[in-house]
Amino acid sequence: MVPGLTRDSLLERAPAITLTLYPGYTVADLDGRAIPVGVHALSVLAACSEPIRLGALAERANVTGARDFIDFIGTVSDLIQNGLLTTDSARPLASDRRGLWSDPSVHVAMLNDVARTDAFLRAVRQTVRPTDVVVDIGTGTGILAIAAAKAGARRVYAIESSEIADVATAMIEKNGVADRVTVVRGWSTRVSLAEQATVLVTETIGNDPFAEHAFQIVVDAKKRLLTDDARIIPGHVRLYAVLVEAPPALVDRLCFSTANIDRWSHSFGLDFSTLMPNRENYLYPASISAERARDLVELSDPVELGYLDYHAPSPIPDQQVVATVSQDGTLAAALLFFEVDVAPGVTISTRPRVASPTNHWLPTLWFEPQIRSVTRGESVKLAFRQEGSAAVLEVSR
């Protein structure tokens, strides 16, 4: 959520926004920046043609329930962060020099993920040529920008919005490449470079690899910061789901399960049934540690839910797939993981059973409210879609 945003925050649509409608998605153009927006964002922008309080906007959007509220606030925050909405009380994230990405523990976790770091370093060495201009978006400690310079790049632009940029600057100087690496402070969608880059490096993949911010970064970079034939690291991301068993205690700890609802109602004398989803096929998402995920029993082979080509990024289309149960068991959840083709021949997998022990990405479990028995050969239909910054997974019995 954007810092300082409250129910009384006054919101208004930024002037001179151009919207282009494509099949399945929309792109907003603001000051020459191409910003993909979800379907919910369109209604928010329409309602903010005149100043409106956040609380009134939520009522107009008929936001009900915790999940709707989370999706709504996520959409508003994305619009503010991209400059499509202005507000009188929230501080734009682009000017916020603190926060998550300046926290050393975040970068410690990524650097300790040896498989991930080594894969990106190998991809940089394999891709960069002596005449290249490289842009590294989200440079963090500067490790990939330094690698690009040492691989022979003529010039490297290391873009970073948080205070970790100070660390990157010191690292670049210490490693003797300050003459060819320029640290650019700010969000990549809001900065300009002196020249277009022939290589893009962006390790901005989160636990949800299809989150809207990652898509926006690449779309904007291709439009403003890169040459037409620029090479991009990483190249592709594929998202998978696999059916799994999960201990009832884990289900109860992470979601509004039937057992939880019954226990709370008995303990507190209140009706907690509204915490249950209003759709029978709704699944609850929750991130768990890779170590815990490795102990789960897989009940199917993985099925692909989506594919993102960084060289030609486009919104992930809605996907319906069928997972076939491979052994009798008790179905509690679908486990989502992804594979990243960092460069030809260099791939990272976050599937718990094969991922590196130092993997820093957290797998996501989508829990069924009620655990049920399944038999070998049974078909389970999964429907996946991306709604702005939120993923939605549903199951059909």
User: How far, in Å, CA of 9 to CA of 303, rounded?
Assistant: 43
SS3 363: coil
Domain ranges across the chain: 10-87, 104-233, 237-396
Q: Let me know if the fold of 104-233 is the same as that of 237-396.
A: no
Confidence of residue 101 (pLDDT cuts 50, 70, 90): very low
What tokens were used for 314?
Answer: 């486009």
Would you state the structure tokens that stand for residue 325, as one six-digit string? Answer: 């149960």
The model carries a pTM of 0.71
| Selection from 281, 277, 287, 305 nearest residue 385 by Cα | 305
Number of H helices, E strands in the chain: 11, 20
The tens digit of pLDDT for each residue in 116-173 reads 999 999 999 999 999 999 999 999 999 999 999 999 999 999 999 888 899 999 999 9
Architecture of domain 104-233: 3-Layer(aba) Sandwich (3.40)
CATH of 237-396, one of 3.40.50.2300, 2.70.160.11, 3.40.50.450, 1.10.1040.10: 2.70.160.11
Average of pLDDT values for 285-314? 89
Average pLDDT (270-278) is: 76
Percent of the chain scored above 90 by pLDDT? 39
Bridge partners for 390 per DSSP: 387
